[in-house]
Structure 1
């Protein structure tokens, strides 16, 4: 076994690999960019090396910097994790040339399977069925279009050099093919440094099933069963489980053998995954899609049902050990399911998000595991992949595993950064998911119904109570049952009535709300309404809480039941609600059952003036924090409705900013290459009739 291993990655996978290295007594070396100096993986490693500036191209993707870090720390081997250089044949070869063991397959296998076109040809020759599609490499745009036309719409454009859903484009309308090819090439070039594409037939309502394989350097290859990865969003997996409810034992054995043959066909060594697309109506028909020549994000579900540590076996195989298991020795126990927690906002079309982790609590307990790279105070920016952590549950059967995962997601607290945790919790309760009737388009079809229906009234109540409360405000009865009247925050005053305070709040994507707050003996009286819906009702003559003329949201009595530094329990209209909370500049973050709300103070006058100055609906703002990569217009240009004006990229994802209507670009506040914050103004397009 090795003495020292360098982990050439960051985030949760770096923490995951370091954990196994520690268990094996192997010294770990982390690497970090300037942006990750305080990151969790840096703190948990035995030593760490700063390798460059924040941009991945100058740090985590810098082969010379990584090799120098290994040399300086005496590392004998390099674990690439997943993403970045994990499937880069040049990096694997550079490690070998430097006398380092690359903990993964040989460069030749990475090169072969990394080229999806050659990979399909190779496994087809070994008798593995493949998806119909383009043949040959290096196709220009015209030949890609010809191949798509020959296959017939719909088709899937895929980068030849990478995976993870990056750069993949589903095209149903041939008229959009040229634009989609250009966009796919840009994303592929940005993610993998190679814009070569291939085109494949799109199979409607398919299931995505992959087989985990292990191969040693002595000719032994086994498979560890399948993982169902059909719950995807934009071709990226968000929920994975093992085993699949679709496969019977005969199909499982056949797909497993096909995966073993695919691994043998390229001389594979190490842990790898062979991915298949399976028509849901005919599980006996399956087609090879690609082979991922690395550890997969979803590897924990396989670990939980097999009892094997895949990172440990990556290390042992790389150290020259022989697999002790024959295929007949591999058994499966129970069911495991994983949810990927990503920095993204489902309510804004799953656009990448960012921010500072103000409060963090990650679930554990019976049958629950969390793999995470997060820590309180961490900055989540737009430079790297949006995945923050994974929550995994295991149980004796699928129903138990799903219930445990939903419960774990309700316990997860990440305040300061919008995530998809609440969305995933609701997805797991969708009838089709509960029944195991999955396909890769299910999430897109069901997404709108899985979003919260507005903001619950108790969220605004919690925000209002937090604005005027502290732990010392809570009255606690004496053991005798008597309450000190001077400890009650009821707003009582000599010769007067309780004061009323009007607070204005707003949440991204929602209309501002005003809340009238009046303390009284029974608690706090709250009156809810939307800003601009009329004056608040008059204050009654009496100091007791009583009915008021309600605004559209109504009037309720609220009471703080318990308030700690991170937790608030309130009673509203006789029902208790518990939130996690954290203060933020100009507001507060609230969390419950995986959902979070950033409730910000709102100034109606300032907002009105800002809207008038900027042109309201004419203003185009950044939908996510990121970098402007393309600017297609200039001030004074005439544009038509829907015309593409700019492209903003964040976390390896592009978002096109289009004209809201026909008109003239009167303001352009950005240039290509600049970094922008969420909701930052990018441009203003004024309709021609307004100019006149």
Structure 2
């Protein structure tokens, strides 16, 4: 494994390696990548068709933006390929081993839109909190360093890998109010519940699949009850083009009346986290500045604490709100080092920055609309419109905003 790790160029805290030339503002557009081909890699076997259609569409637009040929058909993640055969890689899941990255020809951030981690658990929300005690159950490769580095950048909470540890962690947290339980393998809010007292905690723990808790882990953290706002903070590297963003998520109602993800609106700036922090400061919004600072701490800790980690697409969900006692709380909830729900907006903004080298910022949105939807706004890029067997009628599109919209 050490030889494989040597093949990967780790992220430098959100900055490209010193040898990489970042495309400066005001310069004529140059080739973003030496890769001649871009390949979409379907890593998630359980991805739904609307997800795959959207991800393929984003990969195709990335190929056009980078001047690459697009490989028709999905690439299998577990096959062996000749060196360089896939070119630039767009996986629909974080690559969860250094060996898998090597097989796909990924040697650094310049070779993919996404991320690479040394073990599967690193790609999940389970890393966000530390253990209940130093000798608690944890997977091989667990980083004590990471938990210590992000402790003040996340909500109060614990990560556990046994129900006994979960009971102890839950009891501690209940002393300060309701506790949210989140299975590490849950996606999009699934596998979550809130316990408001010891009886509810016990009942919810007993209902959990023991094998999933022991294999993937369970997060217990303080529940926010009022004024909740979720920020999307991101860092992007597309070849020589580096950008970062802050924005907010919004929810919508599914056909079953449940709140689900409805899209994001992002303000994207040319450059890394330093430029983003200045943009947030200039916006006059202290909440935006705080969210960017929390995400930057989390990102840098991942770079420093997980050997072989790299991410050319990094997105962090940062929540702000009040708990049941009215206390103001803020923290990173989880990370996404793969193509995601906000990627349509990311690509729209990157394209705007690419087409106008003098442009410093761009604002773009993604929309996921449930139910029947009329005509799309002018300039919208449609990624999916159809009827999903699980969620019903669904439309997904991205839109680059003008200064007036």
Compared CA separation, residues 96 and 164, structure 1 to 2 (3 A): farther
- 1:225 corresponds, among 226, 242, 246, to 246
Residue number in structure 1 paired with 2:236:
214
8 Å contact from structure 2 (residues 233, 247) kept in 1: yes
2:165 corresponds to 1:150 = no
2:294 corresponds to 1:272 = no
Residue number in structure 2 paired with 1:263:
299
Residue number in structure 2 paired with 1:96:
102
Structure 1-normalised TM-score?
0.38
- 2:124 corresponds, among 100, 114, 117, to 114
**SS state of the match for residue 16, structure 1?**
helix
**Correspondence 1:230-241 to 2 at 5 A:** 236-241=260-265
Structure 1: gaps spanning 5 or more residues: 30-46, 52-62, 313-323, 346-359, 402-692
User: Bigger relative contact order, structure 1 or 2, given CA contacts below 8 A and separation 6+?
Assistant: 2
Residue number in structure 2 paired with 1:390:
396
8 Å contact from structure 1 (residues 78, 102) kept in 2: yes
Compared CA separation, residues 300 and 391, structure 1 to 2 (3 A): same
- The whole-number CA distance in structure 2 between the counterparts of 1:161 and 1:256 is 26
Q: CA deviation at 1:199?
A: 0.8
- 2:41 corresponds, among 1, 5, 8, to 8
Q: CA deviation at 1:109?
A: 8.8
2:382 corresponds to 1:370 = yes
Residues 62-82 of structure 1 deviation map (CA, whole Å, 9 limit, x = unaligned): x43xx25x669942343113x
Structure 2: gaps spanning 5 or more residues: 1-33, 43-51, 131-143, 268-279, 304-309
Structure 2-normalised TM-score?
0.61
**SS state of the match for residue 297, structure 1?**
coil
- The whole-number CA distance in structure 2 between the counterparts of 1:310 and 1:195 is 40
- 1:87 corresponds, among 91, 94, 100, to 94
Compared CA separation, residues 20 and 103, structure 1 to 2 (3 A): closer
Question: Would you identify which runs of 4 or more consecutive aligned residues in structure 1 move more than 6 Å?
Answer: 280-284
Q: CA deviation at 1:297?
A: 0.5
Alignment RMSD, CA only? 4.5
- The whole-number CA distance in structure 2 between the counterparts of 1:254 and 1:387 is 37
2:219 corresponds to 1:198 = yes
Greater Rg over alpha carbons, structure? 1
Decide which moves more: 196-205 or 260-269.
260-269
- The whole-number CA distance in structure 2 between the counterparts of 1:98 and 1:286 is 37
Residue number in structure 1 paired with 2:73:
48
Compared CA separation, residues 75 and 87, structure 1 to 2 (3 A): closer
Compared CA separation, residues 26 and 387, structure 1 to 2 (3 A): farther
Compared CA separation, residues 332 and 11, structure 1 to 2 (3 A): closer
- The whole-number CA distance in structure 1 between the counterparts of 2:89 and 2:193 is 33
- The whole-number CA distance in structure 2 between the counterparts of 1:179 and 1:387 is 35
2:331 corresponds to 1:287 = yes
Residues 182-230 of structure 1 deviation map (CA, whole Å, 9 limit, x = unaligned): 55548x95xx995411211101022211211235899x98631222346
- The whole-number CA distance in structure 1 between the counterparts of 2:301 and 2:245 is 18
**Correspondence 1:411-490 to 2 at 5 A:** none
Compared CA separation, residues 141 and 7, structure 1 to 2 (3 A): same
Residue number in structure 1 paired with 2:25:
none
2:341 corresponds to 1:341 = no
8 Å contact from structure 1 (residues 221, 260) kept in 2: no
Compared CA separation, residues 162 and 2, structure 1 to 2 (3 A): farther
8 Å contact from structure 1 (residues 131, 201) kept in 2: yes
Equivalenced residues, count: 315
- The whole-number CA distance in structure 1 between the counterparts of 2:262 and 2:338 is 18
Compared CA separation, residues 340 and 173, structure 1 to 2 (3 A): farther
Q: CA deviation at 1:13?
A: 1.4
